[in-house]
Every structure is written in C-alpha cells, then in structure tokens.
Structure 1
Amino acid sequence: MDSSHLRQLLDFVEAQTPGTLARYPRVPQTLLDDLLHACPPNVAASLPRAALEVISWLGGSDSNTISVFGATYTTSIERMLEDLEFQVLADRFFRVAVDRNPEQMTQEDLYVDLSRSDGEDAPLIVLVEEWHGEEPAARGHTILSKALESIFQHFDLNKRGFVGYLAKAYRPHKDDVRWEDYADAMAQLAERMGLAELLEIRPDLRCYSTPALGVMFDAMGVDLRTPDGYIQVWIGAENRDAFLNYAAQIRRAMPPMPILDEWRIPRDPNRPI
C-alpha cells in the first residue's frame, strides 16, 4: 500500500535522523480498519494511497505524531472515531486531520478532495464545522506536497545553523508574472550549484539539499483563496553570512518583476541585514 513518494520521504527522514521512524510506529491495522469500515464503501475504496499512508504512519496518539499539517492539527484515528459525523462529507471529502486549536471559535478540519484524486495524491481543503455544501475554497497543497514541505522544514532546514527566507508577492493578472519562470530559474541555479532535488512532487514546491545547504522553493503561497501570488525561497545554511551569500545568488538568478522587484528578507530585529 506504500505510496512511492511517501516512502521516499520516510527514507529521507531516517537518513537525516536514524531511529526516528522507530519512535513513530504505524497504528494497528485494526484501528485503521475501524475508521475505514465507518466510511461509505465507495469512499473507503477511493482514498488516495498517500492519505492512507499518512494516517497509518501518524494516526497514533496526539503525543506520538509529527505535525505534518501544523501544530494545531492531529491525525489521531481515535480522535476521528470519536467524531464520525464529520469524517466524510458529501461522499467527496475525507478528513485527514482534526483541528484542535483552542483559540478558534470554529473548528476547521483538513480534508482531501476525492473528486480530484489521482489514486496516490489529492488536494487538501479546509471545511468548517458549519459547512452547508458550498464549493470549498482551494488550498495550495496536496497531502503529499504538505508532507514534503513539513518534513523538509523539520528534518533539514531546522537542523541548519541559520534559517531564513526570501519572499516576494506579485499580482499574476496585472504584473504579467508567471511563477513557472521562477521555478525554472531555481531549478537551473540548483543544477549549477550541484544541489540535489529531494523529491519531485509538483513544480511549484521544490526541495534541494546538500550537507552545506538546504533550499525550499515554494510558489504555492499560504493559501489560494486570494488573487495575489506569493513566492518563498527558504534557505538553511551553516551561518548567517553563508545564508546571505546564498540569498544573493538566488536573487540574482531570478527574473525581474515589474513591481515589488526587491525580494524581502525578514530581518532579525537585533541585527539588521
């Protein structure tokens, strides 16, 4: 049942931090079966492999999971079984993570859209508990791309000596800008720098890694509910000077933009760049 892409991600985790996967044992098959048997047969049969694998890997207790979907979400199967009313909606949306943010007035769970599944992967969407059947807003991630982003951030970038990012906003319908041009420029620069791509899931999320440098190019933005485009390039380097050197190389390699042509580098309030 393994998704080949997810298997590669798990192999990467184990290579970066040996013994990690042993601390996150798969949930008992009986528990997963209980969840699937509670779903309509057509839904259970159409679940993308990546969704099943993520739940199987991270569906244990809340304290025994990596936050693939964010710190306020849990993939605990037991939590899902306690709240089956919202597990499957409209025979189209299957919940993969439960919102447990105590500060939110409304619960916003994460689902995969089975109508757009390719058998292995599917888009992630958010549905609130008061959802009444309206077409949900598209999100920037699929289940695999979100897993890739979270795992690379946690097991590569966050282990570097210094982590920062370049950010650029643009208006795709007014600025004649295509994110594909920036993804192509990043891929060409990575090849010249000898950066190996970790895993190619989709062209708007690319992760590159060497012992000295980790880079994540993300053209999906935080959310696709707005008309604006947003590109981030995360850089993990040995120290701040190395980060600034790599950041300068990436900025020079990127195509110019009609407006907002300066990439924004978030500043350390105690040490201006």
Structure 2
Amino acid sequence: MNARWDDIRAFISRRSPERARAFVGVPREEIAQFEARYAIALPALYRDFLATMGKDHGDFYPLGDHYACDLDTLVEQLPGSNYPHDQYHKIGHEADPEAIAEYDLFLDLRRSDGSDAPLVRFEDDEWFNLEAVKEVGFTLADQLVRSAFAPFELRRRRKVREVSIFFESAEELGPAMRQIAAQMHALGLVDVMPGTQKVACLGDDTVSLSIQEYTQLSILYVSIGAMAAKSANRIAEGLLDQFSHASVKG
C-alpha cells in the first residue's frame, strides 16, 4: 500500500509529538479557493499536506533542506506568464542564499493521478524552457516518506551506514529492492510506515533501515541506523557480500 498523508502525519506524531504540535495548516476552504482562483486541481496528497503544515512546518523540512514550502511564500511567487502554472505547480522555493542556481520544486500536474504527482525542478526564470525541466525521480509521496523517515526514525540511532548499490539497468532496481526488504523482514524488521514503489522504511527496537530507488542513476540507496555499530555493520556487510557493485560509507 502506498503511503497516504495520514500515514506520514501519524508517523511523525508518534515519533515526535512536540514537533508535530508546531505544525500550522492552511484551512481547507482557503485551499479550495486557491485552486479555483488559479484554475488548477492539486493532488489530494498535496492538499492534505497543506492542511497540516502549509503555513508552518517548524524545523521539519518536508521537501529537503533550504526549500521554503509554506503557501504564503509560494503565492507571492506565482507566475504571470513566465511558465505554465496549470501544468507545473511550484511547491518549494530554493531559499539557500548561497545556491548558485535556484532550482525550485514543482508538481508535474500533467502526470498527476489525482492523488499524487511526479516532482520536477527548474529555475523559475523570466523565460520558461521546457528543455530545462529536470526530473527529480520521485513523486511527492516518495519525497514526503523519505523526508519524514530520516529525521524522525533513522537519525535517532547512534550509528548510521549508507550503502549504494549500482545496477546496469533501472529495471533491476524493483526486484532488488523487494529482495532486500524480504531479507530484512526475515531478520525481524517490520514496516514502520507504509512505503511507496520507490521507498521502503523498516525497523525494530534497535535498527532502522530505508531503501530508496534512484531510477535515473540505476542505484539503490540503503540507509541503516542502529543503536550499536555492529548491528549496522552486519547489515551493510551482508549487502556488500550480496551485491558486487556496492559501496558503503559511514
């Protein structure tokens, strides 16, 4: 089952209720008025996200570090005619003052299924160039699951190992991801929140693990957090033995 916003919000509330209480949402009637005003249909997941933390997300960065994603900031930057807002809806503004290029984050509404949509990025410049639109490789659901799991689960462990597994083609990623997940289940890890097709999140009382598919690079990225270094090392070494094109750091 793909993660819904209710799953992600409940996960954050369980792991850090005090941080969850800092979230301030946008009233749903305002979201509906926004959609009507600009003649767009936002994915349900994004509407739910806005209703929970669309005004203030505290010290949680749901779209990644340096991305401002509160609706008030984004409304100020809505385009005149410099890009097709009904096709690409901005949900994150690059707010790092040291960034060389401001690659803002957008929902590709052309490919929305009504619930979710792929993420793309490009510079919100004076002139829109379709060739400058870059695939992120994740949908909004993928991004929200991975961004919640890292601070609220993985980083609470003392030791973290990162394993990159390289494949010859992207078609190998899905089967390998399911294989690793099955092996972790056999070790006693359980799904700590519903994942997506590209992100799996597992753990128990002492170990946390996420698996992420980077389709464009044909890489599986496995993050392992554990209370004891030997537990993280044991899983990492098992992956290195199993996959010839794998490397570990941390």
Q: TM-score, normalised by structure 1?
A: 0.80
Change (3 A) 1:194 1:15: same
Secondary structure of 2:42's counterpart equals coil
Report what 1:186 is aligned to. Answer: 180
Asked if 1:140 corresponds to 2:137, the answer is yes
Contact map agreement 1:24 1:65 (CA 8 A) in 2:
no
Aligned positions of 1:1-273 closer than 5 A: 5-29=4-28, 31-33=30-32, 35-39=34-38, 41=39, 43=40, 46-61=41-56, 64=58, 66-85=60-79, 89-130=84-125, 131-135=127-131, 136-172=133-169, 178-220=172-214, 224=216, 228-252=217-241, 254=242, 256=243, 261-267=244-250
Contact map agreement 1:214 1:236 (CA 8 A) in 2:
yes
Contact map agreement 2:240 2:247 (CA 8 A) in 1:
no
Give the C-alpha shift of residue 239 in structure 1: 2.2
Amino acid in structure 2 at the alignment position of 1:235: I
Residue-by-residue CA offset, 1:73-132 (whole Å, 9 max, x unaligned): 011111112122179725211111111121234322111111111111100000212352
Contact map agreement 1:58 1:65 (CA 8 A) in 2:
no
Contact map agreement 1:109 1:128 (CA 8 A) in 2:
yes
Q: TM-score, normalised by structure 2?
A: 0.87
Secondary structure of 1:141's counterpart equals strand
Structure with higher strand content: 2
What percentage of residue pairs aligned between the two structures are identical?
A: 18
Q: Structure 2: which 5+ runs fail to align?
A: none
Give the C-alpha shift of residue 245 in structure 1: 1.5
Contact map agreement 1:183 1:203 (CA 8 A) in 2:
no
Contact map agreement 1:55 1:75 (CA 8 A) in 2:
no
Amino acid in structure 1 at the alignment position of 2:146: E
Give the C-alpha shift of residue 187 in structure 1: 2.1
RMSD across aligned positions (CA): 2.5
The CA distance in 1 between the partners of 2:194 and 2:83, in whole Å, is 30
Contact map agreement 1:122 1:142 (CA 8 A) in 2:
yes
The CA distance in 2 between the partners of 1:34 and 1:88, in whole Å, is 21
Contact map agreement 2:7 2:194 (CA 8 A) in 1:
no
Contact map agreement 2:207 2:231 (CA 8 A) in 1:
no
Q: Structure 1: which 5+ runs fail to align?
A: 268-273
* Moved >6 Å (runs of 4+): none
The CA distance in 2 between the partners of 1:26 and 1:76, in whole Å, is 9
The CA distance in 2 between the partners of 1:88 and 1:49, in whole Å, is 23
The number of aligned residues is 246
Report what 1:271 is aligned to. Answer: none
